[in-house]
Amino acid sequence: MLSVTSLTKYFGTVKAVDSLSLSLNRGEILGLVGPNGAGKTTTLRCMCGILTPDAGTITVGGHDLRTDDLPAKRLLAFIPEIPNFYDLLTVREQLRFIAMGYDTVDEYEQVANELLQRYGLKEKENALTVGLSKGMKQKLAIAAALIHNASVFLCDEPMLGLDPQGQHSFKMEIQRLRENNCAVIVSTHILETAQALCDRLVIMQTGRNIFEGTMDELRDQTRMHSNSLEEIFLKLTAPDP
């Protein structure tokens, strides 16, 4: 459903992503993990078209994101680490604005009502987004990603700021997306969640993909058969002595 080949991105002379390749299938949750500065957020922003790669290709549902961008982007939804809404739109108006951008406004009312209820935003539907708490903004970002029936979901630290109930709801949500044959990438520093939730893992370090596969494959490759993802991750990404 999504394919990344030899993705490279520079910021000035700094190579933030270095010839990274990965794949994402329908009905799959892929965990993207790595230390701070590994290039995870840059990779996700390239995948959704916010940033333009310096080299490499990204295809979504068979559409090249560079040369056939509109059909590709219609399939995508992005949950950023720091949501950035229009301050003077209400919660409901923000969802409607996004639905209009994807030509799904005809189904907007029913879907919006369900999402507002599901994420505890119903009482805030007429509040300006500028006045929302961090957790409420994160819940709105999740609802906004679900408003237009995307097939590929790119999530950058999506549970940051969520209370335990909100975290549980999000985990249930992406499992529902998997059951509905959607493809999901979750970038997270919560390694226990990545291990429990994700079908496959990609571990990044200094812009490179140093592992892609299942938890069992990771254990086999590292010969750490009884260890957790956290223990293996710390060993793989430890700085050189």
The pLDDT tens digits of the residues spanning 22-76 come to 999 999 999 999 999 999 999 999 999 999 999 999 999 999 999 999 999 999 9
Separation of alpha carbons 209 and 17, rounded Å: 9
Q: What proportion of the chain, given as a percentage, has pLDDT over 70?
A: 99
Q: What proportion of the chain, given as a percentage, has pLDDT over 90?
A: 80
Query: How confident is the model at residue 109, as a pLDDT?
Result: 83
Confidence category of residue 161, pLDDT binned at 50, 70, 90: confident
The dihedral through the CA atoms of 150, 151, 152, 156 has a sign that is positive
Query: How confident is the model at residue 238, as a pLDDT?
Result: 86
Query: How confident is the model at residue 67, as a pLDDT?
Result: 93
Mean of the pLDDT values across residues 126-145? 93
Query: How confident is the model at residue 40, as a pLDDT?
Result: 96
Q: Within 13 Å of residue 105, how many CA atoms lie on the same side as its CB?
A: 9
CA distances 126 to 87, 94, 116, 130, 131, Å, are 13, 10, 11, 12, 11
66 and 46 in contact (C-beta within 8 Å)? no
Query: How confident is the model at residue 106, as a pLDDT?
Result: 77
pLDDT score of 240 more than 80: no
Query: How confident is the model at residue 241, as a pLDDT?
Result: 60
Phi, psi values for residue 95, rounded to 5°: -65, -40
- Could you please report the per-residue DSSP string of 100-127? HHTT-GGGHHHHHHHHHHHTT-GGGTTS
pLDDT score of 111 more than 90: no
Assigned token pair, 115: 């999402």
179 and 206 in contact (C-beta within 8 Å)? no
pLDDT score of 7 more than 90: yes
Q: Strand order in 63-64's β-sheet?
A: 14-24, 2-11, 55-60, 63-64
DSSP state, 199? S
Mean of the pLDDT values across residues 131-157? 93
Helices marked H in the chain — which ranges?
40-47, 69-74, 91-101, 108-118, 134-146, 164-179, 191-197, 215-222, 229-236
What residue ranges define each of the domains in the chain, with the CATH number in brackets? 1-32+44-75+150-215+227-241 (3.40.50.300), 85-148 (no CATH)
The number of angstroms, rounded, from the C-alpha of 24 to the middle of its chain's C-alpha atoms is 12
Query: How much of the chain is helix, strand and coil, in % rounded to 5?
Result: 40, 25, 35
Name residue 76's amino acid. L
pLDDT score of 236 more than 80: yes
189-218 confidence digits (pLDDT tens):
999 999 999 999 999 999 999 999 999 999
